[in-house]
Structure 1
Amino acid sequence: MEYLKISWLHPFKDEPELLYSEIDAQRFESRKIEIYPDGSFGIASPQFHFGGTALSGLVIPEIEEFSADTQLISEQISAAEFEGIWNKYFNFLS
C-alpha cells in the first residue's frame, strides 16, 4: 500500500483542501478522506461512502505527476499517519 496526502491550493469553499488516499498495488484507491475548508469532510472505502466522497475508478498517478501541478502539494505519508486520520474521521461517524 501507498499513502498520499495532497493539499489542494484553491479559493473554492465547496471543494476539498486536503485529500488522503490509500493506494493499492494496482494504483487504485482503497480508502479516501476529503477535508473541506469549513472542516466538513467526506470519507469512502469499497464498503461505504459519506459526505459525497467516492473512490476513484481510475488508476492513481505517481506522486511526481501530482507535484507537477502548482495547485497541489503532494507527499507520501506513513501507514500509521493515514490510519490516525482515517480513525479520527471514521470514528466521528460512529
Structure 2
Amino acid sequence: MEYIDVAWTHELSSEPVRLVSELDGERYETRKLEFFANGDVGFASAYLKTENTSLGIVPVPYLDEINADPEFDGVAITCEIFEALWLQYACPARH
C-alpha cells in the first residue's frame, strides 16, 4: 500500500481542498478522505462512504505527475498517519 496527502488550491466550494488516499499496488484508491474548506470531511472505502465521496475509478497518478500541476501539492505519508486520520474522521463511533 501507498499513502498520499494532497493539498488542492482552488476556489470551488463544492470540491475538497485536501485529499488523503490509501492506494493499492496498481494505484487504485482503497480508502480516501476528502477535507473541505468549510470543515466537512468525506470518506470512502469499499464498504463505507459518505454521501458525496467515492473511490476513484482510475489509478491515481504518481506524486511527480500530481505535483506538476501548480494547483496540487502532494506528499507521501506513512500508514500510521493515514490510519490515525481514518480513525479520527471515518470511524467517529470508536471515540
State the TM-score bracket (shorter-chain normalisation): over 0.9
- 47-56 or 71-80: bigger deviation: 47-56
Contact persistence 1:5–1:19 (CA under 8 A)? yes
1:42 equivalent in structure 2: 42
Structure 2 runs not aligned, ≥5 long: none
* Structure 1 residue ranges (4+ consecutive) displaced by more than 4 angstroms after TM superposition: none
Matched, 1:5 2:8: no
- Percent identity of the aligned residues? 33
* TM-score normalized with structure 2 length: 0.93
CA deviations over 1:45-82 (Å, ceiling 9, x no partner): 01121041000110111111001000000000010000
Contact persistence 1:16–1:34 (CA under 8 A)? yes
Contact persistence 1:41–1:51 (CA under 8 A)? no
Q: Helix, strand or coil: the match of 1:82?
A: helix
Aligned length, in residue pairs: 93
1:91 equivalent in structure 2: 91
1:66 equivalent in structure 2: 66
Contact persistence 1:31–1:45 (CA under 8 A)? yes
User: What is the letter of the counterpart of residue 23 of structure 1?
Assistant: L
CA RMSD of aligned residues (A): 0.9
Matched, 1:15 2:15: yes
1:77 equivalent in structure 2: 77
User: What is the letter of the counterpart of residue 52 of structure 1?
Assistant: N
